[in-house]
Amino acid sequence: MALTGLDIFKSLPKTNCKECGVPTCLAFAMKVASGQAGLDDCPKLTDDARSSLTEASAPAQRLVKIGSAPHLIEIGQETVLYRHEERFHHPTAVALTINDTMSEADLTQACEKFKALSFHRVGETLTSDMVALVNDSGSPDNMQAAAETIYNALGVPMVLMSDSPNTLSTVAMGPLSGGAVVLYCTGPAEVVDLVAMVKDTDAKLCVDGTIESVAGQVEKLNELGVKDILISPGKVSAGETLEFLTKSRRGTLLKKFRQLGCPVLTLAVGDDSVAAALDACAFVCKYSGIVVSNAWEGHLLAPILTTRQNIYTDPQKPVQVEPKVYDVGDVSADSPLLVTTNFSLSYYSVESEVESARVPCRIIAVDTEGTSVLTGWASDKFNPETITQAMKTAGVDQLVSHHKVVIPGHVAVIAAQLGEESGWNVLVGPKDAGGIGAYLKNDWKNV
Ligand code: SF4
């Protein structure tokens, strides 16, 4: 937890020497507490005080970085239990499983499929982030070869899962030694074996077990200098996994139990792929840092990625697009002109329906501070005056020749007043964006 200015002040030299550029030690402490200055700015601070202040002010949950740009994954360092308190900061990494028993050709095909599993939603491209390579063959050579094939094809970080510490040590060396792997030993291993696995590499370590046992392992590993650790409940039921996730987050943030201050890796795999995908969604909602999944089908993976996108947006800031006129398709002066708000979900719902209908349109996104059509209307941000002003700002009378504008069916009540205000012929479109395609094809030409 962050230290207060007074907490910091107690450890300062209290000489008011001003060498930090601030008139008093108290003022300096306040600046450090608010993040405007760093402890290094005080040349008089003793090493002991610096080290105790640094440790005390460290985040309760450690930030773990895996790999490097453009595939850098950052997980952990979360600060709240509930996203409405602040927000969740580092999105869950989704790791798709691959077995090292696959042939070279099948591995290559799997990598192509990994790249193809990409979804566009509300202006963002959603993809999985990692591969979880499982050592089902039991052979270090097989795992090494598979890891190199995958890494060369995708370049994404990997979770390497094997019951053999020796196999993991071998694979973690070579081209994967740059820190782009999490080593997860699924078999029994002594702490010294775990330390040996990550020695001389930048690999991260995952340990599993009960809350009590992982806390003990993390404490010993920390004492031996291993800091970048993930914890996992292992292959247990969904209910037990959720219990582990909740207990570890609460223990870290509320009870300041630093041995649990590690991101959590969860396993959402199983023969029932639909149930496993649902488990993955639940684990994303409840704090998982990495979720290992076998959702290799688009209809299973998309809900997981959509859940992540929703959970990791800032609940205090509506997601919005720039308020302006957008050209969708090969527009001309005859193209329909549609109006919606600049709430991302509203705008992209309309845009995707227009794209699907293959009828080029112009869409005006009116600035409603990122609120939806009905919320914007209820709060008087989506009204005849604001829509008319948006049309004028966009210069639509220079862009279209038909002088017709289509408004969402939910605000049909403003049609007459908008007609008077703007001088345009106002048409009432469907209430739901899903009806736009049919409207453009069946109704637009006839009105
Ligand atoms: S440099 Fe250190 S001792 Fe001097 S005023 Fe600043 S905080 Fe106080």
> Model confidence at 393, in pLDDT bands (50, 70, 90)?
very high
Instruction: Write the single-letter amino acid at 48.
Output: D
Amino acid identity, position 286: K
Q: Is 50 in the pocket of ligand 1 (CB under 6 A)?
A: no
63-311: CATH, from 3.20.20.20, 3.40.190.10, 1.10.3370.10, 2.30.30.100: 3.20.20.20
18 Ramachandran zone, left/alpha/beta (phi>0; psi -120 to 50): left
Residue nearest to atom 2 of ligand 1 (CA): 42
Q: Are 64 and 228 in contact (CB under 8 A)?
A: yes
Q: Say how far apart CA 143 and CA 99 lie, in whole Å.
A: 9
Q: Are strands 118-121 and 124-127 parallel, antiparallel or unpaired?
A: antiparallel
* Percentage of the residues of the chain whose pLDDT score is greater than 90: 77
Q: Do the domains 325-446 and 63-311 match in fold? A: no
CA terminus-to-terminus distance, the chain: 63
Question: What phi and psi values does residue 237 have, to the nearest 5 degrees?
Answer: -70, 165
| Cβ-contact 274, 241 below 8 angstroms | no
The pLDDT value recorded for residue 58 is 73
Cβ atoms 387, 411 nearer than 8 A: no
Residue 338 has pLDDT above 80, yes or no: yes
What does DSSP say about strands 325-328 and 337-341: parallel, antiparallel, or unpaired?
unpaired
Higher pLDDT, 316 or 41: 41
Distance, in Å, from the CA atom of 235 to the CA atom of 256, rounded to the nearest integer, reads 27
Kind of pairing between the strands at 425-428 and 404-407: parallel
In this structure, the strands spanning 130-134 and 158-162 are: parallel
Q: Across all residues in the chain, what is the average pLDDT?
A: 92
Atom of ligand 1 nearest to the CA of 18: 5
Q: What separation in Å is there between the alpha carbon of 256 and the centre of ligand 1?
A: 30
Measured in whole angstroms, the distance separating CA 156 from the mean position of its chain's CA atoms is 16
* CATH among 3.40.640.10, 3.30.1490.20, 3.40.50.300, 1.10.15.40 for 5-56: 1.10.15.40
User: In whole angstroms, how large is the CA radius of gyration of the chain?
Assistant: 27
Question: Residue 417 has which token pair?
Answer: 């007043």
Of 405, 350, 404, 345, nearest in space to 375 by CA: 345
CA of 5 to the centre of ligand 1 (A): 14
Residue 428 in 3-state DSSP? strand
Ligand 1 neighbourhood includes 113 CB (under 6 angstroms): no
- Tell me, what's the pLDDT at 446? 57
Q: At what angle do helices 191-198 and 165-172 cross, to 10 degrees?
A: 10
In the block, tokens 């997981």 appear at 304
Q: How far is CA 242 from CA 83, 234, 247, 267, 300, in A?
A: 17, 12, 8, 11, 20
Per-residue pLDDT reduced to its tens digit, 246-266: 999 999 988 888 889 999 999
From the CB of 380, is ligand 1 less than 6 Å away?
A: no
pLDDT of residue 417 exceeding 90, the answer is: yes
Collapse the DSSP code of 385 into the 3-class scheme (helix H, G, I; strand E, B; otherwise coil) and give the result: helix
pLDDT > 60? residue 1 = no
- Alpha helices (H) along 286-372: 298-311, 344-357
**Architecture of the domain defined by 325-446:** 3-Layer(aba) Sandwich (3.40)
User: How sure is the predictor about 447, in pLDDT bands with cuts at 50, 70 and 90?
Assistant: low
DSSP letter for 218, please: H
Q: Summarize the confidence of residues 66-83 as an average pLDDT.
A: 92
Question: Chain-centre distance of CA 371, in angstroms?
Answer: 22
Domain boundaries, the chain: 5-56, 63-311, 325-446
In angstroms, the CA 241 to CA 446 distance is 57
Centre of ligand 1 from the C-alpha of residue 10, in Å:
12
> Tokens at residue 359, please?
């009828």
Task: Please tell me the distance from the alpha carbon of residue 107 to that of residue 174, in angstroms, as a whole number.
Answer: 19
Point out the ligand 1 atom lying closest to the alpha carbon of residue 41: 1
Q: How far is CA 199 from CA 132, 167, 196, 321, 405, in A?
A: 21, 14, 5, 47, 66
231: β partners: 207, 264
Range in 74-88, 134-148, 262-276 the model is least confident about: 74-88
Which pLDDT tens digit goes with each residue over 163-213?
A: 999 999 888 886 677 679 999 999 988 888 899 888 878 899 999 999 999
Question: What pLDDT is stored for residue 27 in this prediction?
Answer: 93
Please compute, for residue 204, the number of CA atoms within 13 A of its CA located in the half-sphere on the CB side. Answer: 26
pLDDT the model gives residue 316: 80
Pull the structure tokens for residue 443. Answer: 């109704």
Instruction: Please name the residue whose Cα sits nearest to atom 8 of ligand 1.
Output: 25
In ligand 1, the atom with minimum distance to the C-alpha of 29 is: 7
- Token representation of residue 30: 């306040």
Model confidence pLDDT, tens digit, residues 3-14: 788 888 999 999
Task: Output the CA 40–ligand 1 centroid distance in Å.
Answer: 11
Say what the pLDDT of residue 2 is.
Answer: 61
Residue type, 99: N
Instruction: Give the position of tokens 């700002």.
Output: 393
